[in-house]
Amino acid sequence: MEYHLTVANGYESLRANAAEYSAELLQLGSLTVNFYAPREVDRQEPHTRDEVYVVASGAATFRCCGKEIAVAQGDVLTVPAHQEHLFVNLTPDFATWVFFYGPEEGERASASCCEEPGDTVTEIRPAAPGRMNES
């Protein structure tokens, strides 16, 4: 099992599996890591598990809850289970890591990124020097 994943691994897996745009690279406990590289149009449907996106390359516009946000390499997005969302205005090199985690139906089945901000905003705090922030 490979635990060091690279963008090159992602593209190689897409080619090797004749996958059009998404390939699963790792499954570890409840965590599944996919490499997602839609071409021109993002046709994904809402997922049954919570997910985190880390943009691996390129840029796009992330559309969720009637809002749009420009995203680029290194940006991190979170989406609760069953929430409609997609990427538009993709650059030709757009690709993202997708981390699915937790139980089916999500950790909070009723959560939505369209709900009250207090219910969905996670406070981002800097880690202490030399330590990763584990909370």
Token representation of residue 96: 């993202």
pLDDT digits (tens, 9 = 90+) for 50-87: 999 999 999 999 998 888 999 999 999 999 989 899 99
CA–chain centroid gap for 70, Å, is 15
| CATH number of the domain that residue 73 is part of | 2.60.120.10
Q: Return the ∠ at Cα 124 (arms to 5 and 72), rounded to 5°.
A: 50
Q: Would residue 1 count as lying in a domain?
A: no
Q: Would residue 135 count as lying in a domain?
A: no
Q: Would residue 82 count as lying in a domain?
A: yes
The secondary structure element, H or E, covering residue 135 is none
Q: Would residue 119 count as lying in a domain?
A: no
Number of domains in the chain: 1
Q: Would residue 68 count as lying in a domain?
A: yes
Q: Would residue 84 count as lying in a domain?
A: yes
pLDDT digits (tens, 9 = 90+) for 115-130: 544 333 344 455 556 5
